[in-house]
Chain A
Amino acid sequence: MTNFLLRRIGFILITLILTSIIIFSITQLLPGDVARVILGRFATEQALDNLRQELGLYRPLHVQYLDWAGGFIRGDWGDSLVSRMPIRPMVMQRLGNSAMLAGVALLIYVPLGIILGVIAALKKDKPPDQLITGISMAFVGLPEFVTGLLLITFLAIGLEWFPANSSIDPESTFREALPYLILPAITVSLTGLGYIARMTRSGTIDVLRTDYIRAADLKGLPAGQVLFKHVLRNSLLPTVTVVAMGIGWLLAGLIVTEAVFGYPGLGRLIVFSIQRQDLPLLQACSMIIVAIYSISNLAADIIYGLLNPRIRVGS
């Protein structure tokens, strides 16, 4: 197990280093001159030169990279080119906001997805199953900017249950933010729900087909007991993996949802950093997202291993 962990962590570190190089190289290829983006169309050559000097843009690329990477590891993520403010507090705060949104979304779609998946499996190929499978697939396929705008139209503007815009103060507390989190969280949930439901459904169907379930049925155990004691504890294993991996997707993949609702999370910060060619900010955001993805994947594997004694990782 220890070996396995060390190896996986090593892989994550390599991934991060490679990603940082790739991100750094790609951002260098972006068209345009960051000094001109910052100073505007009528800036004087002198001002542009001063700024490039100040930002260290004249240094060789590998020096720029090493400086940046070294600082990143030491926890000094540098200053944003555009706002000149320290990057780390900015990114961590937006990450916190994205985490609040992700947390609410998880609480909505995981229980709901499991319930729907089990119902679908029990009523396999009957109308409830077709309905659940059909609808959840439709939502998986619909992009967030469609579901988001539909929800805004019906629930916010039509019924006025929720605010249409989630553009809250980035420093809001969870309690202040909660009313503004529901609608974006539902939007995300509609996409996530389908995955969970399908995973649960197929897992449950597989288990229902096994001999030990048939034996349990035949020996006359009550249906509820069979379901909870014998079916679910086996069939939910793949679902756990999906949930853990979903965290990475939730934190990193909310760009569209955050843009639709104007929610001040990591996604909007990334979009901004790309628009303004704020490279250090873009690099920091990307690194955080890659790290979260890697760690949540690792967590998924570990949890799977812990829950399923048949799997002996690393041996």
Chain B
Amino acid sequence: MFKRALVLLALMLAISMILVSCAPAAPGEEEVPGEALSEKHGGVLRSAYYAPTNMDPAFFSTVADDWIGRQWGDFLVYIDEQNTPDPSRSLAEGWESSEDAKVWTFNLRQGVLFHDGKEMTARDVKFTFDRLRDPEIGAVTVTLYANIAEITTPDDYTVVFELTESNPAFLYDLSDYHAIIVDADNEDFATVWNGTGPFMITSYSPEDRIIFERNPHYWMSDAEGNPLPYLDGLEIIFLSDSSAQVEALRGGQIDYLIYLPTEFIPVLEADPTKVVLQAPSNTSYVLRMRSDEGPASDVRVRQALKLGTDRAAILDGAVGGFGTTGRDTPIGPAYGDYHLAVPEPVRDVEAAKALLAAAGFGDGLDIVLTTQESSPVPAIATIWKEQMAEIGVNVEIQLVPSDVYYGAEEMWLQAPFGITDWGARPNPQPYLDLAYVTGAQWNESHWSDAELDELAALAAKEMDRDTRISLYHRIQEIFMERGPIIIPFFINNLWGASADLRGLEPTSSLGTAMDLRSVYFER
């Protein structure tokens, strides 16, 4: 009597079954976990971040690309947490340079295996850097490595770089995040990630997650001789929203988060099961002024805007005080001796007004500040706007998405006033060469100062560290006197983690550079 109803029910069940059976079949038996190597070994570190855009090291462009690369790859020269090259964590176990820093010789570690079992040799190192400097391939590193004249491999474990010009900071250039040593026999770098790194990619779903497992043949071991890494693997879930990332950490779905946004720090610090780690860094938000045209071409206007800026107020208001106030020079406090330790500039509204009046803007000045819609830039712009109002400068904030700011129109290089984020670099020289010397590729303020050009060129080749320090100090004085930028603060590198995670060592370098090889879970 229920025939129709039964037909209906059966139909529904059948449909459901068909749909459900579309699901992938169950995999084979579960792997039997091997015996733990030590009490520190084991566990999978789960994290969340934005999805990567490019997996080929030569074309890494986002933080996610860099962070993923560091897990499956190694560098010829590893820069440690204090911005010093560390041979014990590098693929080169030693190096030396000629006196003029034009010839650099690297001795490679022997017995280092790629994930596919092939041994890493000088040929792979030469291949990696030849690829990165090949204009035909066009990696962003072509300019960085333009100074390399030739790379030779006298034997399987020796690589010699001959440079056109002396470069005492060459080791830092080699540690660039694109310079993961790759397999010279690889034919598709976009989909085959055959590195020598501590973790191997086992599954990659572009919109969803990437899964790594421990490299059992990794070459590093800890002080007790136990093989590294300790973790069995990594799992990075792609979440395109920073609050979702933090929620996942708070909810215990992940254990670790890089580039923690400052607004979430109080919540995490209040939670006893989580920790916040930080280290001063050279990451800054540079408020730069076109110094070749418009009002800021007058040095008095630049000085007035600097004098009218209250840096501490911007640091507190925009990023909750998690950083160090700037001195309007790109060489920040995280550089140690290179940094010129002078007191924070004192805000002087009256002096600023007087300078503006002298420059002919006594009746007020209207400027447009191009601002990326990316935290904390709008907050910096808003606070600065209020401060500028007090010295008679009316700032109109023009909000644009970051894609547009850095887009094809190159707004970031063209706008009269803008706020550009500059990532941390282990060595200050690239900032000068890339953005401040006359005609530099990314000279966004269009600044041209003969004395700075000369000092920057000298510093680039100076072999003596003390002389280099004094050159950098003089450069910073120039920036403070007449430079085209205001750096309100250097933001700290910030990480969030579960409280049971051990071995995390905060670094002043990029936030991605925290070394996960010696991280473990306390049981």
A38 at the interface (CB under 8 A from B): yes
Chain A, Cβ-Cβ closest to B141: A44
Bound form: Cα–Cα A167–B1 in Å: 45
Contacts of A47 in B (CB 8 A): 59, 137-140
> Is B253 close to A, CB under 8 A?
yes
Min distance, Cβ B15 to any Cβ of chain A, angstroms: 7
Chain B residues with CB under 8 Å of A228's CB are 1-2, 5
A240 and B17 in contact (CB under 8 A), knowing A50-B137, A84-B190, A170-B208?
no
Contact with A along B14-50 (1 / 0, CB 8 A): 0111011011111100000000000000000000000
In the complex, identify which listed stretch (A3-11, A131-139, A264-272) lies at the interface while the others stay far away.
A264-272
B138 touches A46 (CB 8 A): yes
Q: Within 8 Å CB of A97, what residues of B? A: 23
Looking at the assembled complex, report how far the CB atom of B240 sits from the nearest CB atom of chain A, in whole angstroms: 7
> How far, in whole Å, are A104 and B253 apart by their CA atoms in the complex?
24
Q: Is B123 an interface residue (CB 8 A)?
A: no
Residues of chain B contacted by A243 (CB below 8 angstroms): 12, 15
Instruction: Tell yes or no: B8 within 8 A of A by CB.
Output: yes
Chain A's interface: helix, strand, loop or mixed, by majority? helix
Q: Once the chains bind, are A103 and B59 in contact (CB under 8 Å)?
A: no
User: How many A-B pairs fall under 8 Å by CB?
Assistant: 166
**Residue A95 is within 8 A (CB to CB) of chain B in the complex:** yes
Among B15, B51, B138, point to the contact of A50 (Cβ < 8 A): B138
A85, B205: Cα distance in complex, Å: 9
Task: Please report the C-alpha to C-alpha distance between residue A167 and residue B59 in the assembled complex, in whole angstroms.
Answer: 28
Which one of B8, B24, B191, B408 lies within 8 Å of A236 (CB-CB)? B8
User: CA A212 – CA B138 in complex, angstroms?
Assistant: 81
- Contact residues in B for A211 (Cβ distance below 8 Å): none
A window 156-180: CB within 8 A of B: 164-165, 167, 169-175, 177
**What is the minimal beta-carbon distance from B422 to any residue of chain A, in angstroms?**
12
User: Given contacts A84-B188, A173-B25, is CB(A275)–CB(B12) below 8 Å?
Assistant: no
From A45, A48, A164, A247, B19 is in contact (CB under 8 Å) with A247
Annotate B189-212 by CB proximity to A: 1 below 8 A, 0 otherwise.
011000000000001111111010
A90 contacts the other chain (Cβ, under 8 Å)?
yes
Contacts of B251 in A (CB 8 A): 164-165
Q: How far is the CA of A69 from the CA of B142 in the complex (A)?
A: 38
Cβ contacts under 8 Å, A75 to chain B = none
Q: Which of B3, B205, B240 contacts A90 (CB 8 A)?
A: B205
**For window 79-100 of chain A, which residues contact chain B by CB distance below 8 Å?**
80, 82-85, 90, 93, 95-97, 99-100
- Known A96-B23, A173-B25: A110·B209 in contact at CB below 8 Å: no
**Which residues of A have CB within 8 Å of B523?**
none
Determine if A44 and B138 form an interchain contact, defined as CB atoms under 8 angstroms apart.
yes
Please indicate the chain A residues that have their CB under 8 angstroms from the CB of B211 in the complex.
169
Q: Is the CB of A107 within 8 A of B16?
A: yes
* A39-B61, A83-B204, A243-B12 as given contacts; A45 in contact with B138, CB under 8 Å: yes
Report chain A residues within 8 Å CB of B407: 36, 41
Q: Assuming A40-B61, A272-B206, A272-B207, is B55 touching A83 (CB within 8 A)?
A: yes
**A44 and B208 alpha carbons, distance in the complex (Å):** 29
For B139, list chain A residues within 8 Å (CB). 44, 47
Hey, what's the 0/1 contact readout for B242-267 against A, CB within 8 Å counting as 1? 00100010010100000000000000
Tell me which residues across on chain B come within 8 A of A95, comparing CB atoms.
22
Most buried by B among A97, A167, A307: A167
Residues from chain A with Cβ under 8 Å of B137 in the complex: 46-47, 50
Chain B residues near A229 (CB-CB < 8 A):
1
* Interface: A43 (CB within 8 A): yes
- Cβ 8 A contact of B16, one of A45, A103, A164, A170: A103
Nearest neighbor of A33 in chain B, beta-carbon distance: B408
Whether A303 is near chain B, meaning CB under 8 Å from some CB there, is yes
Of A106, A165, A276, which one neighbours B53 at CB under 8 angstroms?
A: A276
Determine how close the nearest CB of chain B comes to the CB of A159; give it in whole angstroms. 15
CB pair B22 A83 closer than 8 Å: no
Are B240 and A275 interface neighbours, CB within 8 A? yes
Is A102 interfacial (CB 8 A cutoff)?
A: yes
Complex formed: what's the CA distance from A1 to B261 in Å?
A: 63
- A37 interface residue per 8 A CB criterion: yes
Quote the shortest CB–CB distance from B208 to chain A (angstroms). 5
A284 to B19 alpha-carbon distance, docked (Å) = 20
Q: Does chain A have a CB within 8 A of B223?
A: no
Over the window 222-260 of chain A, the binary record of Cβ atoms lying under 8 Å from chain B Cβ atoms (1 yes, 0 no) is: 000100110011001001100110010000000000000
Q: In the complex, which residues of chain B have a beta carbon less than 8 angstroms from the beta carbon of A58?
A: none
- Inter-chain contacts of A80 with B (CB < 8 A): 206
In angstroms, how far is the closest chain B Cβ from the Cβ of A83? Answer: 4
Contacts of A143 in B (CB 8 A): none
**B422-439 to A contact mask, C-beta < 8 Å, 1/0:** 000000000000000000
Residue of B nearest to A174 (CB): B23
Contact residues in B for A50 (Cβ distance below 8 Å): 136-138
Contact of A42 with B61 in the complex, beta carbons under 8 Å: yes
**A164–chain B nearest beta-carbon distance, Å:** 6
Within 8 A of A (CB), among B245-304: 248, 251, 253
Known: A39-B61, A90-B205, A228-B1. A173 touches B26 (CB 8 A): yes
Give the chain A neighbours of B204 by CB distance below 8 A: 83, 85
Residue pairs across A and B with Cβ atoms less than 8 A apart, 25 shown, are A36-B407, A37-B53, A39-B61, A42-B61, A42-B406, A44-B140, A44-B142, A45-B138, A84-B188, A84-B191, A85-B206, A96-B23, A100-B20, A100-B22, A103-B19, A167-B239, A170-B209, A171-B24, A173-B24, A173-B26, A174-B20, A233-B4, A272-B51, A273-B207, A276-B51
List 4 A-B pairs, minimum CB-CB distance, nearest first.
A40-B61, A46-B138, A272-B207, A47-B138
Given contact pairs A44-B139, A171-B24, A228-B5, a sample of 10 additional A-B residue pairs in the complex whose CB atoms are under 8 Å apart: A37-B53, A38-B53, A39-B59, A44-B142, A47-B137, A50-B136, A50-B138, A236-B8, A264-B207, A307-B7
